[in-house]
Amino acid sequence: MTYGRAAVPAVAGALLLTALLWWAGASVNALHLQGTARVLGPQAVADLEYWLNPWSYDPPESVRLGTLAQGGTGSRYLALYGTAMQIRFAAVFAFFVPGALLLVRRLPPVNRRLPATLMALWAWGMAAGTLAVTVSAPWVIASQGRGSYRFLPQLAGTMTAGRQILVPVALVVAVVTVLIARITAKGAGDLPRAVVPARGARAAATVGTLVVAVSLVVLSYQPVAARIQTVSLSGGLLSEPGDFLRQWLLLGGWAGPAGTSIGEWLLYRAADGLLLAVVWCALRWLPGVLTRATVTAVTAVAVCATVIGLLAGQLLRVAVDSTGLAMLYGPVRVMSALGTGVPAALFVGSLAGLLAALTVRWAGGGAQDADAPAPPAVAPESPAAV
């Protein structure tokens, strides 16, 4: 699929993602209307406001209070917050376009690729939103008037904001992008599949899954995670990287079955097993579905597979906990854990995909296409006539 055909759905999806997030942020004021709390419930209104505030141009209370405290210079902090939101929405567009362009070009939604393309674009929408929040976080922190105080812990807390609303919005964007991509793919000619030996694909899937398992099983074990979180450096603005490292290295958190039955503990660990199963299956089958199994394409697939596996595990936990939590806190609070761990999925998934792609290359399935013309046969030279 050519760049021109793939660019149309990628740009359309980026515009839709930016517009939907802007609309979600602008809808915060509707939660303050009279009667909203009576219809939705005060807890649901508070949760929805927490979800939507990171995408709203209206400054939060922390910025307003800082503005009042600063007297005449407070308008500068409001300007910083406005700049942060401009960067955030521009970054959403800028991050989504190249990833969607790569996925649509290497994983076009034709020839039974549609489910894989849909899942990959859904994951990339969540990843693009997370990256945009991370990039704009320093301006948000500065707008609160305390940018030099524990900067990395503040950055770790700020870059995870607004993740819940990204899950449904990215799904809508993925559906629209896939539909447009199917239209632009018509007449694109034959879209072959890469040749990836089965043995190499299994080895690549195993290597990539082991990388993810290190984060999920080893680093996420609570004693190890606590040691990571308490890492400190000597002085300066970057002296407390523990919370920041935790966000980028840990896909979860677990401990032994203390105080609970082994059956219930295993049920919660099933979500981790589901994540690893999704990553292994994706790295086993998707490189052979790509039009070319390049390093960049396999790495992008691994990132998307890690994000989708993480989301699948979280949905499984929601299904397990839904009855009790819904009765106590309401249905909105049940979904509040969705989207957790996407920064770690970006980093760990990239590393897993890179190693998986190198494994595929070493196995001899690098960038060949299934329908690529075979090299011309060379006829043996006839003996010279005597």
What would you report as the CA-atom Rg of the chain, rounded to the nearest whole angstrom? 24
Alpha helices in the chain (DSSP H): 3-26, 36-40, 42-52, 61-70, 74-106, 114-143, 151-158, 163-185, 198-213, 222-229, 242-249, 262-285, 295-329, 331-334, 342-362
pTM to 2 decimals?
0.89
pLDDT tens digit at each of 386 positions of the chain: 788 889 999 999 999 999 999 999 999 988 888 888 888 888 888 889 989 999 999 887 766 665 555 554 567 788 889 999 999 999 999 999 999 999 999 999 988 899 999 999 999 999 999 999 999 999 999 888 777 788 899 999 999 899 999 999 999 999 999 999 999 988 766 677 888 888 989 999 999 999 999 999 999 999 999 999 999 887 777 888 999 999 999 999 888 887 778 888 888 899 999 999 999 999 999 998 998 889 999 999 999 999 999 999 999 888 887 666 655 666 777 788 889 999 999 999 999 999 999 998 887 644 444 334 444 444 444 444 43
Six-digit token string for 310: 């993480």
